[in-house]
Amino acid sequence: MTVREIRLYGDPVLRTVCDPILEIDAKVKALVEDLVDTTKLPGRAGVAAPQIGVSLRAFSYNIDGKVGYLINPEIVELGGDKVLVDEGCLSVPGLWHKTPRYETARAVGIDLDGNQVEVSGSGLMAQAIQHECDHLDGVVYLGRLEGDERKQAMKNLRDTDWFLN
């Protein structure tokens, strides 16, 4: 089991649009294993590759005891209303803010055998799909915040003991 260290907000890899995975090789298999192992720790709903320092399009999830992953995920459907949900991020430890997210989401990608896989859901699963796909596009959830919520988040960020201003 390889649990990888989580990169913190401010690390350039978190603002980088990730490259697609073009070939399933031993390195990609090891990446997926590390993502899954890192996500299995208690209190973790998902981890995207850039959060462990790898700028490739893959993420893992752990929602309601269901652990899985997607390689080269693409959100193909967002549904319901856009609602404000309490959201946090392993790369922004200790901060939770009301983030606009769609109520349902569906993403497609591939597995390690190259087969197409679909992940969909509502609630926390929908939130995780949107959150992790954002990471792959170089977006941390703080970038989704609006108005006073964003201002408060930036203040809270500056007040943390881990963020270097």
pLDDT in tens, 39-60: 999 989 999 999 999 999 999 9
Tokens representing 83?
A: 């609602």
Tokens of 140: 């941390």
Q: Which residues are catalytic?
A: 132
DSSP state letter for 163: -
Quick check: 116 and 108 in contact, CB under 8 A?
A: yes
CATH code, 37:
3.90.45.10
Residue 139's contacts (CB-CB under 8 Å, 6 or more residues apart) are none
Inside any domain, residue 3: no
The span from the CA of 19 to the CA of 144, in Å, is 22
Q: pTM, whole model, 2 decimals?
A: 0.95
Predicted confidence at residue 155, as pLDDT, reads: 95
Residue 2, domain member (yes or no):
no
In a domain, 57, yes or no: yes
Domain membership of residue 96 (yes or no) is: yes
Nearest-CA neighbor of 20 among 65, 46, 58, 63? 58
Q: pLDDT of 14-31, one tens digit each?
A: 999 999 999 999 999 999
In the predicted model, residues of the chain with pLDDT beneath 70 are 1, 165
| Range(s) of the domain holding residue 50 | 12-158
Give the pLDDT of residue 1. Answer: 59
pLDDT at 165: 56
Number of compact structural domains in the chain? 1
